[in-house]
């Protein structure tokens, strides 16, 4: 666990550590990045770096957590600018894909290497999924209130939709030929996510039409 910054300690130092770690991880990935290299990038002693982050695992986790915070900040900002629930859902899908792609880039883990990273990031992933699900519930309920879509349980629907997107990511990763996602692979995954989202939304709209007829 990261040390808490003592009172009066400049928070900017942690910011520069995270930015340096993010840059190096993006180039070399988790396995090939060392604490010594990150410290050297910001002219900090290795001992000083360990003061803030006791090991590479905790620093990697902090970088991913920072990415997630930025994702939710941007998502909430974008959603506030939209009025239609279907546009909000698509915005979430596209921004979430960017977050997923950044995670792959920072870690450079193959799908078969998930055993290494899953225990480290399980808590962060659980929090991400919970918050993402809550946002989806809000969006679905807004769509229902405005008469765009129809469903019975927003929470169950949000979990189902989240699972659908996760399933697409996993299947697309299994088709990847290298550790890093190519531009073509990225475009194909995003295309699959968009198409699945359109089908999902259209299904909810069709459900509304059928129920109104009955």
Q: Is residue 111 part of a domain?
A: yes
Total domain count, the chain: 1
Q: Is residue 80 part of a domain?
A: yes
Q: Is residue 18 part of a domain?
A: no
What's the CATH number where 182 sits?
A: 1.10.357.10
Read off the pLDDT of residues 182-206 as tens digits, 9 standing for 90 and up: 899 999 999 999 999 999 999 898 7
Read off the pLDDT of residues 40-87 as tens digits, 9 standing for 90 and up: 999 999 999 999 999 999 999 999 999 999 999 999 999 999 999 999
Q: How many CA atoms lie within 13 A of 39 on its CB side?
A: 16
Task: Give the Cα separation of 115 and 20 in Å (integer).
Answer: 26
Task: Give the Cα separation of 196 and 19 in Å (integer).
Answer: 34
Q: Is residue 94 part of a domain?
A: yes
Q: Is residue 2 part of a domain?
A: no
Cβ neighbours of residue 39 closer than 8 Å, sequence gap 6 or more:
45, 46, 48, 49
Q: Which structural domain, as residue segments, surrounds residue 172?
A: 64-213
Global pTM reads 0.83
Indicate whether 99 pLDDT > 90: yes
How remote is the C-alpha of 176 from its chain's centroid? Answer: 19
Q: Is residue 24 part of a domain?
A: no
Q: Is residue 50 part of a domain?
A: no
* Confidence at 7, pLDDT banded by 50, 70, 90: very low
Read off the pLDDT of residues 146-180 as tens digits, 9 standing for 90 and up: 888 888 999 999 999 999 999 999 899 888 876 77
């Amino acid at each position: 666990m990261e040390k808490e910054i003592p009172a009066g300690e400049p928070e900017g130092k942690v910011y520069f550590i995270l930015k340096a770690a993010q840059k190096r991880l993006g180039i070399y990935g988790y396995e090939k990045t060392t604490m010594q290299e990150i410290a050297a990038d910001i002219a900090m002693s290795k001992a000083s770096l360990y003061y803030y982050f006791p090991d590479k695992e905790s620093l990697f986790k902090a970088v991913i957590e920072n990415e997630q915070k930025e994702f939710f900040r941007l998502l909430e900002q974008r959603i506030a600018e939209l009025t239609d629930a279907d546009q909000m859902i698509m915005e979430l899908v596209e921004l979430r894909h960017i977050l997923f792609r950044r995670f792959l880039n920072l870690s450079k883990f193959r799908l078969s290497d998930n055993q290494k990273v899953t225990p480290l990031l399980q808590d962060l992933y659980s929090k991400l999924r919970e918050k993402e699900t809550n946002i989806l519930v809000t969006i679905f309920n807004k769509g229902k209130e405005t008469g765009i879509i129809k469903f019975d349980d927003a929470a169950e629907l949000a979990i189902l939709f989240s699972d659908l997107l996760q399933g697409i990511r996993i299947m697309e990763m299994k088709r990847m030929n290298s550790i890093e996602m190519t531009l073509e692979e990225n475009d194909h995954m995003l295309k699959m996510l968009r198409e699945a989202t359109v089908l999902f939304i259209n299904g909810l709209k069709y459900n509304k039409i059928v129920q109104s007829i009955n």
